[in-house]
Amino acid sequence: MGSASLVFTVSFLAALPAEPRSILFVGNSFTFGGEAEAVLKYRPETVTDLNRDATGGVPALFQAFSDQLHLGWRVSLETSPGKSLEWHWDNRRQVLNRKWDAVVLQDYSTLDPDQPGDASKTVTYSGKFAEIFRRKSPHVALSMTATWSRPNLTYPSGQHWSGQPIQRMAKDVRRGYDEARAAHPSIARIHPVGEAFNCAIARGIADPNPYDGISLGMIDLWAPDHYHASVAGYYLEALVVFAGVTGLDPRRLGKDERAAHDLDLDEGLVVRLQQLAQDITHGDGCKAAAAP
C-alpha cells in the first residue's frame, strides 16, 4: 500500500463513528425540557422515548453533541412531568430493567415532593435502580443530575427557601445527591447542574432574580414560571451532563455547535456556557462564585 493510500485509510478510520453505546435518561421536566418548548420538541426522532411521548429534551441535545463528535451514543429516555424516582420505580422499572452502558437519573426538584430537602427517598430509590441496572450490566456507568435552585421557592414569601440566597437551594439539593452517592458507590458521578447555574450567576452571565427583570447583557436561566429552565438553562444542563458522562471537554463542540444554532442561542453565549461547563465539570469549579 502506498503512503497516500495509507494516509487516506487512517484518516477514513479516524472519521468513523465509535462503537455504539447506549445511554438512558430517567427524570421529569427538568430532564425533558419543561416549559422550554424548543428543547422539549428538539429532534425527538433522534432518540428513543420509552414512553412514546415524542420528547427530545436534554437527551436529544446529548445525542446531537454525540453525533457531532462521532461518539456513537444511542440515547433513550423515560421521563414524566412532576415525578420522582420513587414514581419511576413503582411504575416504570419493568420498562427500564434492561442492559445499558450508561444511565443518568434525576429525582424531583426538591428531592422529596412533600418534604423539600429531605434526601431519604433519593437515597433509597437511587440504590434500588443502581442494583437492577448493575445486575443487568455490571459495568454500567451510573450518574445522577443535581438540579437547580427554583426562584419560585426562594423569592416569594412562605416557601421552603424563602429569604435565602438563590444559590442555597441548589447547594442543598446537591448535598442530597451526594448522600445518595455516598450510600451507593456504584453511582460514579453527580452532574453539578445546579452549581453550574450558580456559577453562571457568579460570572455575570445570568441574572439571579427573574422577578425584578433581567439586567442588560445577562440571560434568564429560567422559564417565565420561574421554576423550569429556559432554553439557555437546559442547554447548560446538557453541556454539563455531556461533559460528565463522556469525560470530554465541551468546548470541542465550538461556537458553531448545531443544537445551539437550532435553538437560536447567541454564539458568544454558547462559548461562555461551554467554558463554564468545562470548568464546573473538569476544572477547578467556579472560583468566581460567592458562598452564600
At residue 289, does pLDDT exceed 60? Answer: no
pLDDT at 13: 40
Q: Could you tell me if residue 78 is inside a domain?
A: yes
What does the block give as the cell for 161?
427557601
Question: Is position 2 within any domain?
Answer: no
* Tens-place pLDDT, residues 269-281: 999 999 999 999 9
With 90 as the cut, is the pLDDT of residue 290 above it? Answer: no
Residue 292 lies inside a defined structural domain of this protein? no
Q: Which residues form the domain of 189?
A: 18-282
Do the domain assignments include residue 270? Answer: yes
Amino acid letter for position 174? R
Q: Which residue has the higher pLDDT, 12 or 253?
A: 253
The band of 144, judged by pLDDT with boundaries at 50, 70 and 90, is: very high
Q: What's the CATH number where 109 sits?
A: 3.40.50.1110
Evaluate whether 231 touches 223 at the Cβ level (below 8 Å): no
Mean pLDDT value across residues 27-33: 98
pTM of the model: 0.92
- Check: CB of residue 126 under 8 Å from CB of residue 145: no
Does the residue 240 lie in any domain?
yes
Structurally, the chain folds into a number of domains equal to: 1
CB atoms within 10 A of CB 101: 17
Cβ-Cβ contacts under 8 Å for 94 (sequence gap 6 or more): none
- Give domain status of residue 6, yes or no: no
Q: Which residues contact 54 (CB under 8 A, 6 or more apart)?
A: 41, 44
Give me the pLDDT at residue 244, please: 98
To the nearest whole percent, how much of the chain has pLDDT over 90?
89
User: What is d(CA 220, CA 255) in angstroms, rounded to the nearest whole number?
Assistant: 20
Q: Would residue 162 count as lying in a domain?
A: yes
> pLDDT per residue over 49-71, tens digit each?
999 999 999 999 999 999 999 99
Q: In 137-230, which ranges are continuous DSSP H helix? A: 167-183, 193-202
Amino acid letter, residue 113 = P
- Tell me: pLDDT of 220 over 80: yes
User: Could you give the CA distance from residue 236 to residue 61 in angstroms, rounded to a whole number?
Assistant: 10
The better pLDDT of the pair 285, 60 is held by: 60
Residue 49's SS3 state is strand
Q: Is the pLDDT of residue 6 over 70?
A: no
- What average pLDDT does the structure give for the chain? 93
pLDDT at 124 over 70: yes
Residue 12 lies in a domain: no
Alpha-helical regions (H) of 46-166:
57-68, 85-96, 120-136
CB 79 within 8 A of CB 25: yes
